[in-house]
Structure 1
Amino acid sequence: MDDGDEKMFPTQSKTNCEPRREGFTEHEEDIKENSKLNHSQMALMHSTLDQSRMIQKRNQDPKAHNVEKCASQKEQQRWLKEELDDNFHEMR
């Protein structure tokens, strides 16, 4: 190589070089974190869909899914809150 090539393609000293793998590792960590977030979002979405289906089913058939055990609207709200809390904790 002559001096012209050295200007076009400078060699890097070892002090300025970082292992290429380090950059990929950060990228891989970002991908893993996004993947975990996406899985959490999907689980929450499925849980929400299941809960809305449960509510629709209850609204269509008052005897379905333990509604007969609920004596009042307040009791039904308490029961529904417990179901939602249970589903949320199962998701985690």
Structure 2
Amino acid sequence: MPFVDRLADEVAVMAIAMIRRLRLVRTDVDVVLAGGIMRNRDQLFFDRIEAAVRRVARRARIRRVAQRPVLGAALLGLDRMAGPERDAAETRLRSVFGG
């Protein structure tokens, strides 16, 4: 089995374990894929994850994060700031990380 397929299977196993543990199998649960590996453009990789997750949780919605996760963390930190410095910092962050 190719490495990429094994990786997709491992991601699916982790998502399925959390869905089961949280008792979300019969819900419209969002499965959010984020991180460096998830930034690839191999649609077969994502299709494999989605197929495996949906075998267990048919109503699951697979989502990919468009921005790097660090952007969200930095924006949360900026929520404690106010004024023009905050706006300038947000503009800089978004220009560097996208979004």
> TM-score, normalised to structure 1's length?
0.31
**Structure with bigger gyration radius:** 1
Structure (1 or 2) with the greater strand fraction: 2
Which is bigger in relative contact order (C-alpha 8 A, separation at least 6)?
2
> TM-score, normalised to structure 2's length?
0.29
